[in-house]
Amino acid sequence: MPRLSDVISPTDMEHVESPNSDLPEKIKLFLPSDCGTQSARIRACVGELPEVEAQLREAEALDALQGLRDGLRARTATSRFKAQNITGQVSNTRAGGVLRQIDIRIHTRKIRYRLARDALLRLRGHGDWEGKLRELKDADVRGLSEKVLSKEEAKERERLRERAVREQNLGEEDLYFQEEGVYSRVHGETRSTLSWIWWDQWELDGGDANDPDYVDVVRVEYCKSKARRDRWKEEVQLLCEELRRMMEYSLWRSKWWLAKRAGEEGMVPRDRDPDLVEGLDAYASQQASFMMEKHSLLAKNWMPLMDHAKKVLERVPDIGTLDFELQDEERRVDEDM
């Protein structure tokens, strides 16, 4: 924008002329949406630059909204699996960590959507586009199967409700509970509603688990989780194999040094000096002793850990390939190939 200096403050202009090169990701770009008023954009921008940014912002908002839906579907599937299959403090803590990572992604996409929509509002003003890209409130960010999960965790929710009321003297309207670091409002079944973010993506059928979008997200999350599990399983196997080879090498090297002493098979001293032969034999025995000590030290320090790692690997289930019913388009592609 060649006339940017005419519409921004001198302080902002200093950031343009002398940007902080140490943190390039912090440099403000001063796009048309940052100019403030429509008249300022007309003065500073060239041609259709504001409309170009508006199109990019709209695409960014739609992409963030789709990512938000994907994250909520992933959280729904993970929460359902946790409630049905995971018990014990260690497993629940690990599952809670996975849920927190998903919640971070959801929060990031929520902020990204709000920033893109605010920029689009400054560029285009109020209009028909707001029917597709509405204002996103915190209460709107909720999953499709919230009611189903509430039924599955009804006992735990009731216990939290009673404890909160007992300890803090809260009423039903003021009641909150914390689950995996995320604060959620406790609603009754009659007040459960579907957020607007799902209206154009979900047929109101109660949250069908066979929905194509839902299945696609579960497939992706399943493949990512399986890949991570296989990678770390391979790392443990490689470490165990490296430790085994180190111990085997130390043992072999010790025998190799012992075989270098005079009188051993194939070892005939060329020098008949008995003192020199005795010295060489002593050196070979010393090196053999060093290698045996190394073998014993490795076995003492690492064998218990190797045995534990092998037992852990034996407990890791061998996840097979999941079979999904192909959709019409996928079936046609499969037939063409």
Residue 106 confidence class, pLDDT cut points 50, 70, 90: very high
In a domain, 222, yes or no: no
In a domain, 13, yes or no: no
Q: To which residue do tokens 């924008």 refer?
A: 1
The pLDDT of residue 127 is 86
Are 80 and 142 within one domain?
Answer: yes
Are 150 and 104 within one domain?
Answer: yes
In a domain, 213, yes or no: no
Contacts of 149 (CB under 8 A, 6+ apart): 76, 79, 80, 83, 143
Residue 10 confidence class, pLDDT cut points 50, 70, 90: low
Are 172 and 245 within one domain?
Answer: no
Radius of gyration of the chain (CA): 33
Are 257 and 304 within one domain?
Answer: yes
> Average of pLDDT values for 276-293?
90
Lowest-confidence segment of 79-83, 132-136, 197-201, 274-278 by average pLDDT: 197-201
Does residue 21 surpass a pLDDT of 50?
yes
Are 137 and 248 within one domain?
Answer: no
Which carries the bigger pLDDT value, residue 60 or residue 214? 60
In a domain, 98, yes or no: yes
CB 239 within 8 Å of CB 309: yes
Are 241 and 321 within one domain?
Answer: yes
CA atoms of 243 and 241, how far apart (whole Å)? 5
Are 158 and 298 within one domain?
Answer: no
Q: What pTM did the predictor assign?
A: 0.49
Are 238 and 101 within one domain?
Answer: no
Residue % of the chain over a pLDDT of 90: 18
Are 193 and 54 within one domain?
Answer: yes
Does residue 319 surpass a pLDDT of 80?
no
The pLDDT of residue 238 is 92
In a domain, 131, yes or no: yes
In a domain, 246, yes or no: yes
Are 57 and 162 within one domain?
Answer: yes
Residue 102, Cβ neighbours under 10 Å: how many? 23
Does residue 115 surpass a pLDDT of 80?
yes
Of the candidates 248, 276, 241, 247, the residue with the CA atom closest to the CA atom of residue 262: 276
Our count of domains for the chain comes to 2
What are the distances in angstroms from CA 317 to CA 21, 233, 304?
Answer: 49, 11, 22
Among 198, 219, 251, the domain-final residue is: 198
In a domain, 142, yes or no: yes
- Determine the structural domain holding residue 59 and report its residue range: 48-198
> Average of pLDDT values for 228-251?
90
Are 233 and 190 within one domain?
Answer: no
